[in-house]
């Protein structure tokens, strides 16, 4: 699983002009699921996201987690994070999980975050979405569950 995390002041996602999800101060999370991902990747990636210290403390140092600041999240499915762009100029997405698996992992990831955060908004899985955000910093981090496995 890959999560592109953007620290935001606010973010929202719309489908056909109607807002379907939003969050205040916290994270916009674009989440991609690979066909090779395992159930254990959900908690591994979710726990890292919750503990990641990228909010500033009283000294302006990135030393606080989303839990420490009472932040919110907006999670949007993003299969294009699985793009293979090594051959030519048109990316292919064969590594992306089939929609049934991807949606199941996406929903489980959202549920994992909801156990710890007061608010977790979502997009509409599989829909064409428009995402708006105010990036805070900007701070953007890529988390990859495969890279986290090497630490276990």
- What angle in degrees, to the nearest 10, is found between the helix axes of 40-51 and 99-114? 40
The catalytic residue among 6, 55, 79, 122 is: 79
Question: Considering only CA atoms, which of 76, 78, 103, 102 is closest in space to residue 19?
Answer: 76
Specify whether 79 is catalytic: yes
Specify whether 80 is catalytic: yes
Report the distance separating Cα 48 and Cα 102, nearest Å: 20
Report the distance separating Cα 71 and Cα 37, nearest Å: 27
Specify whether 134 is catalytic: no
Report the distance separating Cα 132 and Cα 85, nearest Å: 26
Characterise 115 by phi-psi region: left (phi > 0), alpha (psi -120 to 50), beta (else): alpha
The catalytic residue among 78, 105, 109, 122 is: 78
The catalytic residue among 36, 80, 134, 140 is: 80
Q: Catalogue the active-site residues.
A: 78-80
């Amino acid at each position: 699983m890959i999560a592109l995390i953007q620290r935001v002041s606010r973010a929202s996602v719309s489908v056909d002009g109607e807002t379907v999800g939003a969050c205040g101060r916290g994270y916009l999370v674009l989440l991609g699921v690979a066909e090779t991902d395992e159930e254990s990747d959900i908690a591994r990636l979710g726990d890292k996201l919750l503990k990641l210290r990228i909010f500033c403390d009283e000294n302006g140092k990135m030393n606080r987690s989303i839990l420490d600041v009472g932040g919110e999240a907006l999670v949007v499915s993003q299969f294009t994070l699985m793009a293979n762009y090594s051959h030519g100029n048109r990316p292919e997405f064969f590594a992306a999980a089939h929609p049934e698996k991807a949606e199941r992992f996406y929903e489980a990831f959202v549920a994992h975050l909801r156990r710890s955060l007061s608010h977790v908004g979502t997009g509409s899985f599989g829909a064409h979405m428009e995402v708006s955000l105010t990036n805070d910093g900007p701070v953007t981090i890529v988390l990859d569950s495969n890279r986290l496995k090497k630490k276990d």
